[in-house]
Chains A and B, each alone.
Chain A
Amino acid sequence: MSDQQILGYIPENTPIHRLNGASKLICLILLSVACMTTFDTRFLIFMSLFSLALFKVSHIKWRQISFVLKFIFFFSLLNIVAVYLFSPEYGVDLYGSRTVLVEGIGRYTITSEQLFYEFNLILKYFCTIPLALIFLLTTNPSEFASSLNRIGISYKISYAVALAMRYIPDIQEDFYSISQAQQARGFEMSKKGRLLSRIKGIARIILPLIFSSLDRIEVISTAMELRRFGKNKKRTWYAERPYQKMDYFVVIVAIVISIISFSLFYVNGSRFYNPFH
């Protein structure tokens, strides 16, 4: 099982791993908002490269994320195509000019403006998805819970958040194990199987998955109570990480980037950078 693609925290000693969980969360939210609100292509390109550079610094391996990235790629592609199908000339409206490359059928033309607009959408994915994956893979759930507790959230609640983070990879692994076991018993799950066969196969995975999760709930809650979890109003944290200069530095950088993003609204006169004028 050790070679399975498990999406979860893996300990490393990189500058990003050493950051406080709350700092990383603040940066993630600020940078996500910055990338979400603007359509300035130059800013989005910069942020895409910045995100990919952070990926490099965090030592995340392709094997850790390839499974999820396939899903992300597929659904992103679906969104890009859907935008075109619903509004094939939205880019023309936005940028105020029309440069037809292919006339197409009916209203489904291909214009430079539409291609440019959808290019911006793709860049948005390249900005925000790496940031989210970096946060998930470099943050110790226990340390994250202690960070949430420090900013005022009850430790019982922050611990539940950490548990949810902690058990996503475990349940994912359960899913794979059960799937392999059922296929070993002869149930067809691959793309070659007929639709009905695959639906039956899924049903044979879901029930064991739910039962194993319910069993896990019993084991975990009993073990926690035996260790006197929740008996006091406060608790100490083994995994607590103090704020350092680097934490303040990265938060300031995130704030500056957000300010730049909002400032570009005024520089461009809108959310959009318009090269067609």
Chain B
Amino acid sequence: MKLTTKDRIQIALCTALLSISSLIMIPIGPIPITLQVLFLILIPALLGAKKGMLTIGLYLVLGLVGFPVFAGGMGGLQSLLKPSFGYLIGGFVIAAMIGSVANKNASFKSLVTISVISIPVLYIIGISYAYFLMNIVLETPISLSVLITTSISVFLPLDIIKAIVASFLAVRIRKAVGIKTIVS
């Protein structure tokens, strides 16, 4: 299907929303949590697979050319050299997973199921990227077990919560706005 003007506006403004979400921070002790993961799940749940992927793709392009829209206001091509960049690539992949479910069935149960399933997918891609980057590209040896332990113990519980919250928000927003006006 072809993108209408409204589709393009949705993609552009959701890209801006995703950019702002990376600047909203809730400090939990020394660990800063942004709402980026929440929006990486919420946006494909609202827009569907195709527009969701285009939104995250546009976000990645803007970030890589230098706009400070990645977590913590970072950006630029050097973001490719950060271990955490893999999670953004993962965000692109899970947009297809979540969006394809959102296209068919928008019940809370199905959305929360696919959202929670997408979190380990996100982590597999993120940790694989971090391992490849550190050990091969940057020549900074880090064992896989250290990466897995660090990522899972610190961030996984919070991301599961974000997935559930994102599904809840998506259902409420779709009900309030009317499903057909968003996923079409």
Contacts and interface: CB of A to CB of B under 8 A. Distances in A.
B62 A129 contact: no
Contacts of A59: none
Given A79-B82, A202-B26, A221-B5, A167 B68 contact: no
Most A-side CB within 10 Å, residue of B9, B17, B19, B27: B9
Nearest to B69: A168
Contact of B5 (A25, A167, A203, A225): A225
Contacts of A36: 76-78, 81
Contacts of B72: 71-72, 74-75, 78
A210 B78 contact: no
A36 B20 CA distance: 25
B20 A28 contact: no
Contact of A211 (B4, B58, B173): B173
Interface string A194-222: 01001100110111011101101110110
A109 to B, nearest CB: 17
Interface in B11-52: 11-17, 19-20, 23-28, 32, 35, 38, 42
B100 interface: no
Interface in B139-174: 140-142, 146, 165, 169, 172-173
A10 interface: no
Interface string A131-150: 11101100000000000000
Which range holds the interface residue count of chain A?
35 or more
Interface residues of B, number: 57
B176 interface: yes
Contact of A32 (B6, B77, B181): B77
Most A-side CB within 10 Å, residue of B19, B26, B28, B73: B73
A124 B78 contact: yes
A160 B10 CA distance: 9
A172 interface: yes
A1 interface: no
Contacts of A78: 32, 72
Nearest to B177: A214
A28 B65 contact: yes
B21 to A, nearest CB: 8
A246 interface: no
A213 B75 contact: no
Given A167-B13, A167-B16, A207-B169, A136 B66 contact: yes
A183 B57 CA distance: 35
A68 interface: yes
B169 A206 contact: yes
B170 to A, nearest CB: 10
B20 A32 contact: no
A126 interface: no
B26 A87 contact: no
A214 B32 CA distance: 28
A129 B9 contact: no
9 tightest A-B CB contacts, nearest first: A75-B72, A132-B66, A163-B12, A221-B6, A71-B73, A164-B15, A167-B16, A221-B9, A164-B12
26 contacts: A7-B68, A29-B66, A32-B66, A71-B73, A72-B73, A75-B74, A78-B32, A86-B142, A86-B146, A87-B142, A128-B78, A129-B76, A159-B8, A163-B9, A163-B12, A163-B13, A164-B15, A171-B13, A171-B20, A202-B35, A203-B165, A210-B169, A214-B173, A217-B6, A217-B9, A221-B6
Given A25-B65, A163-B12, A217-B6, 19 more contacts: A28-B65, A32-B66, A71-B25, A72-B72, A75-B74, A78-B72, A129-B68, A129-B76, A132-B76, A136-B67, A160-B9, A163-B13, A168-B16, A198-B26, A202-B26, A210-B173, A218-B6, A218-B181, A221-B8
